[in-house]
Amino acid sequence: MLRRTTLFVLFCTFFAVSVRAQTDRQTILSILDRQTKAWNAGDIPGFMKGYWESDSLMYIGKSGIRYGYAGTLENYRKNYPDRAAMGTLKFDILHVQLLSKDAAFVVGKWHLTRPEKGDIGGHFSLTWRKIRGQWVITADHSS
């Protein structure tokens, strides 16, 4: 009887962890989808809702490392001042790895279709943290 109980508890634990991991993965993918929709609507502040609103947010791009939510928002506004520069964003998610119950790592490709300015694209890696119950990007390395 003890063996059955132990197996049952192990199964329930594994099932609960698996369901939580799948739910967290779907939540992260949903946030990325909302970011894409906000970007394609010309809404940079809406796009930024996926990021951690903190001075500790880290963004790594071609100009180096930038810290802070406000600086990252300003950088997006400077580099994408109008709809022609923003174009149409598409993400291709290549890898989602849950590192713990409150940390994840995402790798993907980004592409901006910009008929007037020329298409651009690259790859990204995102560190996600679950802070106060919400998944947010805490570090973004885009190239």
**CB within 8 Å of 66: residues ≥ 6 apart:** 58, 59, 60, 72, 75
Structure tokens at 12: 């329930």
Tell me the pLDDT tens digit for each residue of 40-69.
999 999 999 999 999 999 999 998 999 999
For residue 14, pLDDT beyond 90: no
User: What pTM does this model have?
Assistant: 0.85
Q: What is the CA radius of gyration of the chain?
A: 18
In the sheet where 58-61 sits, what is the strand order? 64-67, 58-61, 134-142, 120-131, 103-113, 88-100
Work out the percent of the chain whose per-residue pLDDT is above 90.
84
Q: Give the pair of three-digit tokens for residue 45.
A: 């502040």
Alpha helices of the chain — where are they, by DSSP H?
A: 2-40, 44-47, 69-79, 83-86
| Domains along the sequence of the chain with CATH | 2-142 (3.10.450.50)
